[in-house]
A and B are shown apart, each in its own frame.
Chain A
């Protein structure tokens, strides 16, 4: 039950959505783009999110795309995680997103909503960071295409009135060997401790991590160490733990020390799976 009222709009085109946002903002009200909407509904209930006008972008055709366009897999931002899992066009994305929330909730949560969410895990972004994907954004200045690394720094850097429309990923990344592991404090459900996604391309391993820091990231420094030649797997893993971004989370899900212990073992799992490391 949301303790505040809002206006609700369901635009049918990108331009209509952008104009609605500006129209609402010009009236001094707070608009919000709404995809799966689970964050507004759950956080709004406890006064951690608010909007005067909800602009539901699920009716826009561009956001529903799921197709190979030449050498690129194009995924619309308003596809639900279940839509993507059932069609399975990107196995690493399927594996990573299939660990988010629970199956029924994933029928509501969208890939774009997860990437742009307030909750810091944002695990759906990991496969796109690993595969140097491109993102399509739309806003008051029109449609913009950018490499994800240029617009995603801890979170998607959206300008006011902008929203994510599509993600495009090269086929060679979609088909590359990959692994995704989610470790929780206990059992198979609940919030993650750490999620790691990894992919091997051009004989190099790439890793992206969620739940270690208060933001998801891919670290070139970590990858450089993990791929170093002539060094044992164990030594690479130990070294990788020293070049992580900061801060390391220290919360009820796990202390900093415990997260680093879990991460060390996840690195070993990744090297075993993708690099033939034996321990």
Chain B
């Protein structure tokens, strides 16, 4: 096994990681940096549970090699502090078991930043990337719309 040490910018900090080039960003965030907020789900880019933000855009961290993230700003759920979307998820009970929640919040957070005037079509297009096995979609929709409307 061939290990390499390289820098990643995660949640505003420069972190040195030692990993294989074949390791996904998800694996390195969780296994090397202890950032377990991004959840392993399908590991195939389908479920969105592992979503993070990379340079302000949503990214499924199971679909990205950690080495590809060199020079990019990676934000995980641990990097969000009292953001409007986190508050909205609490106020709207937008979760049940909570497993999909970090991924949904990271996708919603990027959506609100990139498209503060997003309408129904844009919201649907973006949020189709995440699956909630508890089917809490109505509450998640309410949460993201409550933040967009305030803007």
Contact = CB atoms under 8 A, between A and B. Distances in A.
Given A38-B63, A56-B68, A4 B22 contact: yes
Interface residues of A, number: 27
Interface string B51-87: 1000001111011110110000000000000000000
A99 to B, nearest CB: 10
Interface of A: 1-2, 4-8, 37-38, 41-42, 44-45, 54, 56, 58, 82, 98, 101-105, 107-108, 188-189
A40 to B, nearest CB: 9
Nearest to A42: B44
Given A54-B21, A108-B60, A45 B67 contact: no
3 smallest CB-CB distances across A and B, nearest first, come from: A104-B129, A8-B21, A2-B22
Contacts of A6: 21-22
Contacts of A107: 57-59
A53 B146 CA distance: 47
Contacts of B59: 104, 107-108
B129 A105 contact: yes
B142 interface: no
20 contacts: A5-B20, A7-B21, A8-B21, A8-B65, A37-B64, A37-B65, A41-B65, A44-B22, A54-B65, A56-B68, A102-B48, A102-B128, A103-B128, A103-B129, A104-B60, A104-B107, A104-B126, A104-B130, A105-B45, A105-B60
A103 B125 contact: yes
A271 to B, nearest CB: 26
Interface size range on B against A = 20 to 34
Interface of B: 1-2, 20-24, 27, 43-45, 48, 51, 57-60, 62-65, 67-68, 107, 125-126, 128-130
Contacts of A45: 43-44
B45 A101 contact: yes
A41 B62 contact: yes
Contacts of B126: 103-104
A49 to B, nearest CB: 12
Contact of B68 (A37, A42, A103, A189): A37
Given A41-B62, A45-B44, A103-B128, 17 more contacts: A1-B23, A1-B24, A1-B27, A1-B43, A8-B65, A37-B64, A38-B45, A41-B24, A41-B63, A41-B65, A98-B125, A104-B59, A104-B107, A105-B129, A107-B58, A108-B45, A108-B59
B137 to A, nearest CB: 13
A105 B45 CA distance: 7
Given A104-B107, A108-B60, A5 B44 contact: no
